[in-house]
């Protein structure tokens, strides 16, 4: 009886030793552990002459299962250094707007814009981490109607400086929709990098039902991280669509698809994070632009005068006294009354003629007053942006006209 018990103890010891030795073999690629296994297994076999055939079979089966075990394969793989896929960095520059707005739960109106911080916006979209490494910068936190030329200049200078960092792939600016197109166009004319610069926002505050901000932010980061977006100028991403800064405009006071591009349309789309481009601007922009605001504290003043029936021409005289240039949002193809014509003839500052319609083009043949400047197809608010920058270079109407055709 004692002999039988001793035999079983020895057999059990062999099984335990066999499992341990085989585990070592799986975790090592050297020949020496294999020799050790063979030697120790042989020694164990010689030591126990009374081991039964069933015990030997059990030991072999255990060894085979241990060698093939998935857990052991995983252990081997974890000993090899794994290099994570390198992702670029996207800098999110927040300025406020509806996308950062907070109001009564569920409502889409009556909210306070510019409440949430850049970190708040980013933390609400954890999927951003799958696209790029995110850095947040709070530039300001205001309603976009309170954006100023100083904010524009700060944004441009920050982007131009940060773009020198090779680890940064692109930039996303969160912004209110009311003046988004003006900021986009200004940056399009002043940033000096081919890296993607994308602007986005939302039509619904963060506290509304089906807020559109998170998806717009996610898709904007996808575009900013995309190789395809390089060199295409400043872009606006909104509701799955991509627009050029020059063509984008706001077309509705409430519609979630309020950001559009009129007759020119979108230049691309975003679907499930994938970026597709179909068009691009042929106008000068970004690194190809002549405008430099790095040493400026403010821009020349430009007034936009909206013409309507029976409009008092005296408003033009007042604007001229307080402005470096004027943009007239004329009726139709940039037209206005005889009273306006008489005042415009005597103005000593550059006057750009645009249209209040929103679509179409103003060419020199449309001009009612010699020496005024045709605004091409820029809406009044964008014509004002270009005129302000043009005035940092020249006051000559002919040279400014060339700029309106180039940009």
Residue 29's CB is within 10 A of a number of other CB atoms, namely: 10
In angstroms and rounded to an integer, the radius of gyration of the C-alpha atoms of the chain is: 34
Q: d(Cα 319, Cα 27) in Å, to the nearest integer?
A: 82
Query: How many other CB atoms are found less than 10 A from the CB of residue 147?
Result: 24
Q: Is the separation of the CB atoms in 201 and 98 below 8 Å?
A: yes
Task: Mark out the alpha helices in 79-178 (DSSP H runs).
Answer: 118-123, 149-162
Closest of 202, 200, 131 to residue 169, by C-alpha: 131
Whether the Cβ atoms of residue 380 and residue 304 lie closer than 8 Å to each other? yes
- Distance set, CA 381 to CA 79, 106, 257, 327, 388 (Å): 61, 33, 20, 8, 11
Q: Which residues pair with 96 in a beta bridge?
A: 142
Of 185, 182, 178, nearest to 202 by C-alpha is: 178
Dist CA 147 CA 152 (whole Å): 8
Give the count of alpha carbons within 13 A of 148, CB side only: 6
**Alpha-helix residue ranges (DSSP H) falling in 79-179:** 118-123, 149-162
Per DSSP, what are the bridge partners of residue 235? 198, 244
Bridge partners, residue 241, by sequence: 238, 269
Alpha-carbon distance of 92 to 94, in angstroms, equals: 6
Q: How many H helices and E strands in the chain?
A: 12, 14
How far apart are the C-alpha atoms of 316 and 318, rounded to whole Å? 5
Q: Does the annotation count 98 as an active-site position?
A: yes
The catalytic residue among 66, 95, 98, 193 is 98
CA-closest candidate to residue 201, choices 150, 147, 153: 147
Which amino acids are annotated catalytic?
Answer: 98
């Amino acid at each position: 009886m004692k002999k039988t018990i001793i035999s079983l103890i020895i057999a059990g010891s062999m099984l335990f030793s066999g499992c341990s030795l085989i585990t070592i073999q799986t975790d090592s690629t050297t020949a020496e552990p294999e020799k050790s296994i063979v030697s120790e297994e042989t020694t164990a076999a010689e030591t126990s002459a009374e081991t039964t055939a069933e015990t030997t079979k059990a030991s072999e089966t255990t060894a085979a299962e241990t060698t093939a075990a998935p857990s052991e394969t995983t252990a081997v793989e974890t000993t090899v250094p794994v290099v994570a896929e390198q992702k670029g960095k996207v800098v999110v520059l927040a300025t406020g707007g509806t996308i950062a707005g907070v109001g009564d739960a569920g409502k889409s109106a009556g909210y306070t814009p510019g409440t949430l911080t850049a970190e708040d916006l980013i933390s609400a979209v954890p999927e951003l981490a799958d696209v790029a490494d995110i850095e947040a910068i709070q530039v300001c936190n205001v309603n976009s109607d309170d954006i100023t030329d100083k904010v524009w200049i700060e944004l441009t200078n920050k982007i131009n400086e940060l773009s020198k960092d090779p680890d940064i792939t692109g930039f996303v600016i969160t912004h209110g929709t009311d003046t988004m197109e003006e900021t986009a166009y200004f940056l399009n004319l002043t940033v000096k990098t081919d890296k993607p610069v994308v602007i986005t926002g939302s039509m619904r505050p963060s506290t509304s039902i089906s807020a559109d901000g998170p998806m717009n932010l996610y898709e904007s980061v996808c575009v900013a991280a995309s190789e395809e977006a390089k060199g295409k100028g400043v872009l606006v991403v909104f509701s799955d669509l991509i627009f050029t800064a020059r063509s984008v405009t706001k077309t509705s006071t409430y519609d979630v698809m309020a950001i559009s591009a009129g007759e020119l349309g979108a230049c691309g789309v975003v679907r499930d994070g994938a970026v597709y481009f179909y068009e691009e601007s042929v106008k000068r922009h970004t690194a190809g632009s002549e405008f430099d605001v790095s040493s400026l504290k403010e821009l020349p003043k430009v007034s936009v005068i909206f013409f309507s029936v029976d409009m008092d021409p005296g408003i033009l005289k007042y604007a001229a006294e307080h402005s470096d240039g004027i943009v007239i949002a004329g009726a139709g193809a940039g037209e206005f009354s005889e009273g306006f014509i008489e005042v415009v003839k005597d103005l000593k500052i550059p006057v750009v003629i645009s249209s209040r319609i929103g679509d179409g083009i103003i060419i020199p043949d449309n001009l009612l007053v010699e020496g005024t400047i045709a605004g091409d197809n820029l809406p009044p608010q964008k014509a004002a942006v270009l005129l302000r920058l043009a005035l940092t270079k020249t006051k000559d109407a002919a040279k400014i006209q060339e700029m309106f055709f180039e940009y």
